Structure 1
Amino acid sequence: MSGNLEKSEEIRAESICCCGKRDTSSSANSVNLFDRDNCTKFPNRWSRLRYAIREPAAEFLGTMIFITIGTGVNCQVFLSMDPNVEAVPRGTFLSLNLAWAAGLALGVWIAGGISGGHLNPAVTFSLAVFRGFPWKKVPIYALAQLLGAFCAAGIVYANYFHVINIVEGGRSIRTINGSGDLFATYAASFMTPVSCFFSEFIGSAILAIGGLCATDKNNGPPPPGLVPLALFIVLFGIGASLGMNTNYCLNPARDLGPRLFTAAAGYGSAVFTYRNQYWLWCAILGPVTGMLFGVFAYDTLVFEGGESIINKPDAWTREHRLHTCPGQRGKLPAGIESA
């Protein structure tokens, strides 16, 4: 009997130590041993901070992994073409497309369950315009994505630093044609400004449509957890068919982050003055306008969900039909409150 009492006291002490409180709603011998939500969700201060920043942190990490793999394969394939580096090139155009697609899939797998796995300011902005994504999160997401891409360029640059020195001809020599174009995107010499913009516009629109299709519950989506695989197929298809002209940027952070890094790493202001601010009108405006068009096209022609501004009920429907919908009496769909 005394042994049982001692054991009960030990359990009670452990419960108080873990949870910081005794369950006073029951008898003296009853202890709340499994209050896991309060005990283990935030076991320390860092866990509380991590929870507060989890969405931008996921975007940062996912984008960093994505761009690390992408710019890494650029460096491996093209730097190895120099006979002073390797006798045989380590990769082909197929390698480039596979690695960029794999990087996107891995990045979305990392961030998808936490932040949605945008990894792209153009995606975030388009979802805010058409799908009700909170505008207050847009600058936070975009900054996290930009920092992730910047850090990715730094990681790859450090990894291939000695090879870049060989190809460029010395530690103090850095040129866009030598190695700078392996980090940010630069158009082929035969491309006109209009052609550059159109190439980015159409590729970004296709990426937006493919991403929305893969997450549309009413349009045969892939099984849970396989959305990144669908995005792998989408980006691989874009790269294999439309990638030659501008190296398919499709993502303002993917270009601006590495471009900022190369400017700081010794490539100079030429990375921004190239072709009359190519980075702005092609690598940023092209993907943003292309994504907006892609989301608009998909929501107008295919999507039936109520979260899209395209499907927001009009005044007549709100007045005459909305009250007849099951579960909608006294309740307005998303987006109506601000109409």
Structure 2
Amino acid sequence: MSTPVTPSRHFDSEGKSIVPSRYTRSRTNPTDRAGEEIEFASQKGIRNTWFSRMRIFVAPYFAEFIGTAVFVLMGCGSNLTYTVLTTNAQSAWLGAAFGWGIGLMLGVFVAGGVSGAMLNPAVALSFAGYRGLPWIQVPFYFFAEFAGAFVGALLAYACFAHSLDPFDGYNRQISGPFGSAGAFGNFARPFIGNGAAFLSEAVGTGLLVLGVFAITDTNNFPARSCTPIAIGLLLTGLALSIGYPTGYSFNPARDLGPRCAAAIWYGADVFTFHGSYTWVPVAAPMAGGILGATAYEFFIVSRRALVEDNESTSVSEHSSVSYEE
């Protein structure tokens, strides 16, 4: 028969014996322990209910929906503000760019901890291709982002409907001096063809995704807690630098969702205006986002991984030589 082991005793400054805490824990009142076990079992049962599992399943998509709605509400609101209230094109462009950037920042703050706050089908597609987002979730992200953009545009219109009435005389117009549909869906400048617009949107989205990958890459130089601010400033910088030809959509949901909302008041011409321009801000960002993500992964991440592999190889070789000696 084995001999029981007596726990080692410790003594305080007065010479009194102190039993280690791991042994005192076993002296807990059995009634208290039973109550804790019952409470844990009840909480586990609540988490395993159908409703709880459904909440866990839909949480990232609702977060993506609300984050995109906030982003588009603030962006379309800034467009409408400068469309209705100012005639200074320079200040209007600058203010709208900051409005969209701050809207994106707030949307990322709202949804970032739950869904990752991609708020952009082009970004979601890129993350599925290179950052491990499950492909089965991609259609749900797409739907949540388009729905959020649609609702955000509706809310923006509701806030400005009475301001638009004296502006255009109750006659909603797509273009012209009293046109305001461009505050929702983007339209390229009259002198920009669809081919040139496609290139501009693709390049802008590629830079956006490239920047997002760099900002969120923990092995590069991540923004960490400042990620939402950095991403918002990234969009503002792109708007001010290369966004003028097309109005810097760089996001299929940000264009198509508000365009569908605008069709309620401006008519179906919002889809066919400017040579059926609607397909450009949908297709170009998807193509540009994949190109930007591919460029980052192949020319930046792969190079870093190669250096790390070489360093690990040299360390292993050094250790093996030392061992043999």
**TMscore range, shorter length:** 0.7 to 0.9
Match in the other structure for 1:297: 295
Deviation at 1:127, TM superposition (A): 1.9
Match in the other structure for 1:184: 185
Deviation at 1:99, TM superposition (A): 1.1
Q: Residue 174 of structure 2 contacts residue 270 of structure 2 at CA under 8 Å; is this kept in 1?
A: yes
**In the TM superposition, what are the counterparts of 1:81-100 in structure 2 within 5 Å?**
81=86, 92-100=92-100
- Work out which of the residue numbers 55, 60, 74 in structure 1 matches 2:65: 60
Tell me, in whole angstroms, the C-alpha distance in 2 between the residues paired with 1:203 and 1:72.
22
Q: Deviations over 1:245-291 (max 9, x none)?
A: 1110000000000111111x2211111111232111x1011101110
Deviation at 1:51, TM superposition (A): 2.2
2:29 paired with 1:30: no
Q: Residue 80 of structure 1 contacts residue 90 of structure 1 at CA under 8 Å; is this kept in 2?
A: no
Q: Residue 76 of structure 1 contacts residue 91 of structure 1 at CA under 8 Å; is this kept in 2?
A: no
Deviation at 1:90, TM superposition (A): 12
Match in the other structure for 1:79: 84
2:269 paired with 1:270: yes
Tell me, in whole angstroms, the C-alpha distance in 2 between the residues paired with 1:169 and 1:128.
47
Query: Tell me, which stretches of 5 or more residues in structure 2 are unaligned?
Result: 1-28, 317-325
Percent identity among equivalent residues? 34
2:43 paired with 1:39: yes
Tell me, in whole angstroms, the C-alpha distance in 2 between the residues paired with 1:299 and 1:141.
22
Deviation at 1:109, TM superposition (A): 1.1
Match in the other structure for 1:51: 56
**In the TM superposition, what are the counterparts of 1:306-321 in structure 2 within 5 Å?**
none
Match in the other structure for 1:104: 104
Q: Deviations over 1:113-160 (max 9, x none)?
A: 111111001111122233332111111000000000000110010100
2:130 paired with 1:130: yes
Aligned length: 277
Structure 1 residues 90 and 246, CA gap change in structure 2 (3 angstroms): closer
TM-score by length of 1: 0.74
Tell me, in whole angstroms, the C-alpha distance in 2 between the residues paired with 1:152 and 1:29.
51
Corresponding letter in the other structure for 1:150? F
Corresponding letter in the other structure for 2:92? T
RMSD: 3.0
Tell me, in whole angstroms, the C-alpha distance in 1 between the residues paired with 2:77 and 2:147.
17
Structure 1 residues 67 and 36, CA gap change in structure 2 (3 angstroms): farther
Corresponding letter in the other structure for 1:175? Q
- State which structure, 1 or 2, has the greater radius of gyration over its C-alpha atoms: 2
2:285 paired with 1:287: yes
Structure 1 residues 90 and 235, CA gap change in structure 2 (3 angstroms): closer
TM-score by length of 2: 0.77
Structure 1 residues 130 and 52, CA gap change in structure 2 (3 angstroms): closer
Deviation at 1:304, TM superposition (A): 4.1
Q: Judging by fraction of residues, say which structure has more helix.
A: 2
Tell me, in whole angstroms, the C-alpha distance in 2 between the residues paired with 1:214 and 1:36.
40
**In the TM superposition, what are the counterparts of 1:114-153 in structure 2 within 5 Å?**
114-153=114-153
